[in-house]
Amino acid sequence: MQRHHGFAVRAIVAMVIATFGLLGAASAQPDRPLRLVALGDSLTAGYGLPAEAAFPAALERALRARGHDVQIANAGVSGDTASGGLQRVDWSVPDGTDGVILELGANDMLRGLDPAVTRQALEGIIQRLKARGVPVMLAGMYASRNLGPDYGARFDAIYRDLAQTYGLVLYPFFLDGIAGQQSLNLPDGLHPTAQAVERIVQRILPSVETFIGRMRERAKAG
């Protein structure tokens, strides 16, 4: 999945800050929108699509239509690996963020990287956010079957194991119902069309609403 140059990363940070403003959580009003960050790769960034068709924007519209007052910042960087996400997590997720939807690992798999490296990086992201008091939802990925059963078993277990270890909401396969469907992917066969993104949103919506419910309960308890 294509990698943008460094300016794209800087642009992401600027957009996240613009979305959230400069207020931290402590200074925000209790009735303000929930501020989410979608931290991911090109599947989050919306490679080949208009900004309004990218996953974070489509998900925000769907949630608002269901009565959830949310803002979702797009912190997707095309070509990013889990290790790349770990390197930028501290400044891709600004202060004042209420929760993160973490979607990384597809590029690790496509490059055949050691699943142990992917696992370590994803766990590092989760731990850093946990230390900051930012809840995480995991959007998982499955390995391509042509990588062999051993690789597949090791890679596929990453998200389930991390979700169990840290008590996270898990959506097991981000491309569920999309992968392998030619009509739902761009000509490269890897990236969803705008129609496919809407399908992803509808499938992941119950998990995201569970995540939002947890955040609201957490805020009340806090």
* Distance (Å) of CA 29 to CA 22, 158, 205: 13, 37, 26
Catalytic residue among 41, 42, 92, 156: 42
- Candidates 125, 22, 16, 24; CA nearest to 71 is 16
Active site residue 69: no
Catalytic residue among 68, 78, 80, 191: 191
* Residue 210 token pair: 């569970």
191 in catalytic set:
yes
Indicate the SS3 state at residue 139.
strand
Instruction: Determine whether 4 is an active site residue.
Output: no
Selected catalytic residue, list 90, 95, 161, 188: 188
Distances (CA, A) of 2 to 63, 78, 115, 122: 29, 5, 21, 20
Tokens representing 160?
């389930």
Q: Give the active site residues.
A: 42, 188, 191
